[in-house]
Structure 1
Amino acid sequence: MDLHVRYEGDDDPDKCTARKLSRFDLAELHRSDRATPYGIVLNPHAERALSPADADLAREEALVALDCSWESAGEKRFTLPGEHRALPYLVAANPVNFGRPMRLTTVEAFAAALSILGEPGHAERVMAKFTWGETFLELNEEPLRRYADCADSSEVVAIQREYLDRE
């Protein structure tokens, strides 16, 4: 599954997970919407949740994330062409947002998506480049497994509700 990033470059380059993925040839960075390929766009504002039903399109086209600061990640920023999907409830393991729900870095978003789409080995490979990468997969092991066992978006949302009710 090809990983592509619409790269804004507005975060600290030393902490940018997308740049690190690019350095290891694990993702391709794009500086414009036009240059970014069509595919499954990870968008926290999307109306549908990512589910295993999206796997074929992601394999045929691409998995796309927007890399920008959380302060500028408003809904208007997600104008990329593609099928927009939201990731379900997960907890960040990155040093900046550790333990905070839904504050994932680009690499965490990719790893979550890859796990849900049936590519756990690929998720492990991208997270292996980060000292805290294994922690993300461990913290979210149960929900990622449950989401990956769903048939469609509605099942993912139902499981997500269980986690949100606990909060």
Structure 2
Amino acid sequence: MEVHVYYEGDDDPKKCTARRLERFDEAILHRSMGQVPYGVVLNPHAERALSPADRDEAIETLVALDCSWESAGEAAFSMPGEHRALPFLVAANPINFGRPFRLTTVEALAAGLWILGEPGHAEELLDPFRWGETFLELNEEPLRRYADCADSSEVVAVQDEYLVDE
């Protein structure tokens, strides 16, 4: 599966996980929305959760947004593709460690790949990051359970079990 990122350059380039993925040839960054190919767009404001069923639609491109939370809503919905939100997961990055739903771009992409049936590819993306393995360890059970779901409604049902515990 190809990995693409719409990149606005809002954050510190030294801390930007998307730029690091580009340096390691793990993702293609696009600075213009018109360059982003059609695919599954990881959009925190989407109405449907990402599920293995999205892979069944023969979409071979996963797209993440690398922009501020303030501009994510307007940027995402302008982008062509099937918009999906990630379910409950916990961040392992040093800035948001342990905080739910506060994933870096690489964490979001790795989670998306895992749910879409590509755990090996997810591990490759996280490999250049000291905390990458920790992300998978923290989220091992939910990622496995989400990947076993048939569709978005099942993913939401599993997510609800975790949210009750929060």
Which band: TM-score by shorter chain?
over 0.9
2:155 maps to 1:156: yes
2-side partners of 1:9 and 1:152: how far apart? 33
Q: 1:91·1:100 contact (CA, 8 Å) conserved in 2?
A: yes
2:8 maps to 1:26: no
Structure-2-length-normalised TM-score: 0.96
2-side partners of 1:72 and 1:96: how far apart? 20
Structure 2 unmatched ranges of 5 or more: none
Deviation at 1:68, TM superposition (A): 1.1
1:5 maps to: 5
2:45 maps to 1:45: yes
Structure 1 runs, 4 residues or longer, greater than 4 Å off: none
2:94 maps to 1:86: no
Structure 1 unmatched ranges of 5 or more: none
1-side partners of 2:154 and 2:87: how far apart? 11
CA RMSD, 1 decimal? 1.0
Paired residues for 1:127-138 under 5 Å: 127-138=126-137
Q: How many residues align?
A: 165
Structure-1-length-normalised TM-score: 0.96
Pick from 74, 77, 81: which aligns with 1:76? 74
Deviation at 1:56, TM superposition (A): 3.6
Q: 2:40·2:59 contact (CA, 8 Å) conserved in 1?
A: no
Per-residue CA shift, 1:52-87, capped at 9, x if unaligned? Answer: 001144x644100010123433x2221210000000
2:148 maps to 1:143: no
Q: 1:88·1:156 contact (CA, 8 Å) conserved in 2?
A: yes
